[in-house]
Amino acid sequence: MDGAATAQTLSRIGLSGLAVMGQNLALNIAEKGFPISVYNRTTTKVDETLDRAQREGQLPLIGQYNPRDFVLSIQRPRSVIILVKAGAPVDQTIAALSEHMEPGDTIIDGGNEWYENTERRITEANSKGLLYLGMGVSGGEDGARYGPSMMPGGSHEAYTNVKDILEKVAAQVEDGPCVTYIGEGGSGNFVKMVHNGIEYGDMQLISEAYDVLKNAGGLSNAELADIFAEWNRGELESFLVEITADIFKVKDEKTGNGELVDKILDKTGMKGTGKWTVQQAAELSIAAPTIAASLDSRYMSGLKVEREEASEIFKKEGLNEEISSDINSSVVDKKRLIDDVRQALYASKICSYAQGMNLLKAKSNEKGWNLNLGEMARIWKGGCIIRAVFLDRIKKAYQRNPNLANLMVDPEFAREMVQRQAAWRRVVGLAVQKGISVPGMSASLQYFDTYRRSRLPANLVQAQRDYFGAHTYERIDMEGAHHTEWSKLARNARV
């Protein structure tokens, strides 16, 4: 058989790791017309994927049952996507596959990996002549199957080898596929991590909007479903608002009594990307209070038993969970509250995205990644969990000014923040009065209020630092570092 004939029988790409995300991405690739080889250590997963490929349209998908046959079934230069649990399983998979790979071949890790692990693996791959991409994939199971947002970083040559596949497989929006070459090193993983941090913020803010509407406004699940559906037709149009509207409609089939959302334990799980985002913000000295508040809220939700006990203790002291304050004992104007919460949610979301973008910018500067923030917003417009109509406006804000200091000061967004701040303050104020915790909305409002003030009380903090630690301070009216013998001068002043 000559070389050309052999090449035709080989797959265009391979995918190893056939949990649901892996299966769905493999089927997506095959459906777009790219013959794909698949492999999984547990062989039943290979059979399951082959069965689905037949059922879902006799797709060009070939199952392989050992690493050698899998690698050799792919045309050169080979590109292999791995979708396994982050950490040690990735290293084990790379070791098993790279044994049979040749210089010029590419490994693409599609998991939620810590970016420094990717940078280590890039170096290790390079020593064997292999190319490497760390590629964030967002959109969950549906996204993987029908069009995710993908964030590949690492070897540009590796990206060009699979660009045609990724561009077809990605979600499609009016200005192109939701994939782009992110940058060098672990930039793809880092961008996906920040995407997840923003997602934490989004979900927390939506849950606070729900809490205020339900517990301060007395709205039913049916009313909430209608409100979120209506919001999804306007400026808040997004995947998370859309699915929230759906959630309120679902009945509890197990008991046949009421809606399922009310039967779910109020204890949030997490995989770690939100924590990484907050840790990186601290490392880079970037304020990300909305994302941090969202992470703290997940930790607090985990204290379910403690919270139940605390609730009982405070009830004995005469404090109900929702406090009815005299200031607000009058009946809440539902229509106005709904509109206020909509505006507060929108303004708070802008803060969350601003924090994420600032984190990307700071890391890009530190690592020399040269991230294009407008392009990051564009590839998040489709396929991913945080996809939202206002991402197009974020893209345009960075196109207008690639060096934008903060999303909030873009002329369009600044105007919107000002227009919405009265409603935003009313919602946070009402929640505070009623004892309903709104950490995300409060953190966003404090972020806005701090950023827009030309003078903060930090002068007093600097004076304190100089008093007890001789850390010095700068003056507003003359150059240089200054130190004062505060205690001596204060004693003399008292005389």
209 is annotated as contributing to ligand binding: no
471 is in an annotated binding site: yes
What torsion do the CA atoms of 87, 92, 94, 95 make, to the nearest 10 degrees?
140
Check 31, 113, 119, 192 and give the catalytic one: 192
CA neighbor of 98 nearest in space, from 128, 122, 134: 128
482 marked as part of a ligand binding site: no
Q: Is 256 annotated as a binding residue?
A: no
- Residues 463 and 477: their CA atoms lie apart, in Å, by 16
**Residue 423 corresponds to which tokens in the numbers above?**
């409603």
195 labelled binding-site residue: yes
Residues paired with 388 in a beta bridge: 238
Query: Does 192 participate in catalysis according to the annotation?
Result: yes
Does the annotation list 18 as a binding residue? yes
298 known ligand binder: yes
> What span, in angstroms and rounded, lies between the C-alpha atoms of 10 and 399?
42
Beta carbons of 238 and 383 less than 8 angstroms apart: no
Q: Is 86 known to sit in a ligand binding site? A: yes
What is d(CA 81, CA 133) in angstroms, rounded to the nearest whole number?
9
196 is in an annotated binding site: yes
Nearest to 146 by CA among 477, 387, 456, 406: 387
Whole-angstrom Cα Rg for the chain = 26
Contact between 36 and 15 under an 8 Å Cβ cutoff? The reply is yes
Is the preceding peptide bond at 77 cis, omega within 30 degrees of 0?
Answer: yes
The Cα–Cα gap between 143 and 123 comes to 30
Tokens 């547990």 map to which residue? 42
Number of other CB atoms surrounding residue 374 within 10 Å? 18
Q: Is 21 annotated as a binding residue?
A: yes
Q: Is 84 annotated as a binding residue?
A: yes
Q: Which residues pair with 15 in a beta bridge?
A: 38, 81
Q: Which residue has the tokens 């827009």?
A: 452
Residue 219 marked as a ligand binder:
no
Q: CA quadruple 324, 325, 328, 329: dihedral positive or negative?
A: positive
Alpha-carbon distance of 427 to 449, in angstroms, equals 15
For residue 361, the SS3 value is helix
Q: Is 17 annotated as a binding residue?
A: yes
Q: Is 420 annotated as a binding residue?
A: no
Is 139 annotated as ligand-binding?
yes
Q: Is 417 annotated as a binding residue?
A: no
140 labelled binding-site residue: yes
Cite the beta strand spans of 98-168 per DSSP E. 106-109, 131-138, 149-154
Other C-beta atoms lying within 10 Å of the C-beta of residue 185: 22
Q: Consult the annotation and say whether 20 binds a ligand.
A: yes
372 assigned to a ligand binding site: no
Of 107, 72, 106, 448, residue with least CA distance to 287: 448
Which position among 113, 119, 199, 259 bears the catalytic label? 199
488 is known as an active-site residue: no
Cα dihedral 118, 124, 126, 131, rounded to 10, equals: -40
Residue 22, marked binder: yes
Neighbour count for residue 220 (Cβ, 10 Å): 12
Binding residues for substrate: 112, 138-140, 195-196, 200, 271, 298, 465, 471
Q: Which residues are catalytic?
A: 192, 199
Q: Which residues are annotated as a binding site?
A: 17-22, 40-42, 84-86, 112, 138-140, 195-196, 200, 271, 298, 465, 471
Binding positions for NADP(+): 17-22, 40-42, 84-86, 112
